[in-house]
Structure 1
Amino acid sequence: MTNTTENELFDYSPIVDRPPLHWPGGAKVAAYVGLNVEHFLIDRPSTSIWPGTADLVPDALNYGWRDYGPRVGIWRTMASLDRHGIRASVLLNSDVTRHYPQIIEAGRKRNWAWLAHGRTNSILHTDMPRDEERRVLTDIIDTIADATGRRPRGWMGPGLTETFNTPALLAELGLDYILDWTNDDQPYALKVPGMISVPYTVELNDLMLFGKGFTGPEFVQIVQDQYEQLRADSEDGGRVMALALHPFVTGQPFRHKYLDQALAYLAAQPDIWLTTSDDIAEHYHRTLEAHQQA
């Protein structure tokens, strides 16, 4: 895969032209919580709540806001996930394993699914020669596997970034799905053999929604609206609902009860398969194999 003006990673496939997609147990919507567990460098600008200090070193205001996530917010979020019996699909910076081992241990006890999410969210995954990128990806994946006891199957780049070589290199390293291309309500095959795209979201995403000024009650309503529409659409085939969370956002005290209400709503739906991105990917791979053998 090389730099090109044409998209060579996947074909256009209108959702109305596909065979019906069936989820286990007759579920209509497969839903997962994409929990971003990230490490940020103290001397690099990154996601900020206040741009006025973002270029300072150190930037105590914005770094502290982000650092609330691993120190406090994730433990509050974890309690809510536990309360509703939800396994997280963790988008994990490999640097987290060194800096916050208590989070890794807590996730292992909960049998979380672990996805590779770059080294740190302060550095985007871009502008690398192929051999250098292979070394970087190998280090990220091996570090996560060593710390969690489970080799990741999925990838989401920091800031949803890739190079043109990333999907093929990930396939070489044994991964079989990516979340970076947020362009569908169903998984679909990429042109890289053995690699698929699983839906993620930059819309139903706490960082984006609360960053735009939405309130807690509006967040709950948006989660409900998303599910209801996908459930209605599923008459033509199963859909995927991703809920993207950042512990320094929905882990804030005044937002927590609204996250809990949203998770309670999802857990109560009779037609939902509340699962992980790993299990969604595995089921879709089996579906593709069945179609190829038919």
Structure 2
Amino acid sequence: MNQARIDYSPIVDRKPFFLPEGARVAVWVIPNIEHFHFDAPGTAITSSTAHFTPDVLNYSWRDYGPRVGVWRMMDIMHKYGVKGTVTLNSEVCEHYPQIMEAGMQLEWEWMGHGETNSRMLANLSEDEERTVIRRVRDTIERVTGKRPKGWLGPALTETFHTPDILAEEGFEYVGDWVNDDQPYPIKVRNNSLYSIPYSIEMNDITAFLTMHMTPEDFYQMLVDQFDVLYEDGASTGRVMSICLHPFLIGHPFRSKSLDKALKYITGHQDVWVTTGGEIIDHYKQQFQTEQANA
């Protein structure tokens, strides 16, 4: 079957996307802050023990993130005035309250990211999925005082009903569709929903665990991505995502690559370092205004 959620839209045929104050690139940084269950498989640094229950080696490797790595990330991002847009497992609210408090002090934005990355959304019934999405939304709102605008499925998983449920439950944007340099509308049966540019490649999971990059390789990849988008953005604005996991980029020898990349990016003029919600708010304001004036 063909997908019916999005229209084919070549970027060369679109009206220009103007960013605030003449910026060429909107850069948003996405810390994936997750909770994994001790008796379930998860992201692994080695496959040698991944089939065991419990898998102490890989579980404790991931556990470096909330214990140490996220705090190093916060320091680096704050150093360059970068506010995170967190893809948040709602179980983090219960298990790591200090992270929630620190993120709120830094004025980070919170996106829904399922309840735990030990459980995906795939193969849920519509009612089951709606229940999960509502619980995630309500938990984040209760703890932070703000209803999340954005959503990223655990491992970017969806069902055929996910966009409809998200729109009906008050979410405004989703990062699962990694196919563009600009936001765009997704067809839903009620309300509205927008895709925001997220990346599976400008992503430390893919870079370090799949591509087996060095930290210096990762730095250069981020710089090259930025440079080309910055050049492209002279004619129509582009969006760059930097997708991070504290149990990877938070290690000392990798964190230097993030520090250098943010120093490079924020050292340029005409760059809007922002959050996911602000990008979508701006996109909607520009194109809804144009439609109203047409």
- Please give the TM-score of this superposition, normalised by the length of structure 2: 0.97
C-alpha displacement at 1:135, in angstroms? 1.3
Q: Following the alignment from structure 1 to structure 2, what is the Cα–Cα distance between the partners of residues 24 and 281?
A: 12
Identify which range, 152-161 or 129-138, moves more after superposition. 129-138
SS at match of 1:236: coil
Which of 26, 35, 38 aligns to 1:30? It is: 26
Structure 1 unaligned regions, length at least 5? none
- 1:1-294 aligned within 5 A: 5-192=1-188, 193-211=191-209, 212-293=211-292, 294=294
Q: Distance in 2 between matches of 1:124 and 1:50?
A: 21
Quote how far apart the aligned CAs of 1:291 are. 2.4
Does the CA-based 8 Å contact 2:21-2:270 persist in structure 1?
A: no
Q: What displacement does 1:236 show?
A: 2.8
Give me the CA root mean square deviation: 0.9
In structure 2, C-alpha distance between the alignment counterparts of 1:132 and 1:33, rounded to whole Å: 30
Amino acid at match of 2:201: E
Partner secondary structure for residue 45 of structure 1: coil
Offset, 1:240: 0.3
Equivalent AA in structure 2 for residue 279 of structure 1? E
Between Structure 1 and Structure 2, how many residues are aligned?
290
The CA deviation at 1:252 is: 0.6
1:94-145 Cα deviation digits (max 9, x unpaired):
0000000000000111110100000101111111221221111111110111
SS in 2 for 1:262: helix
- SS in structure 1 of the partner of residue 248 of structure 2: coil
| Identity value in percent | 49
Query: In 1, Cα distance between the equivalents of 2:284 and 2:72?
Result: 34
State the distance in 2 between where 1:234 and 1:258 align.
Answer: 24
More divergent stretch after superposition (120-129 vs 273-282): 120-129
- The whole-number CA distance in structure 1 between the counterparts of 2:133 and 2:204 is 27
Q: Tell me the distance in 1 between the aligned counterparts of 2:270 and 2:116.
A: 36
In 2, Cα distance between the equivalents of 1:248 and 1:226?
A: 23
1:168-206: CA deviation from partner (whole Å, max 9, x where unpaired): 111111111000000000000111241110000000111
- Structure 1 residue 216: Cα displacement: 1.6
Shift of 1:8: 1.0
Q: Report the AA paired with residue 75 of structure 1.
A: W
The 10-residue stretch of structure 1 (79-88 or 250-259) with the greater mean CA deviation from structure 2:
250-259
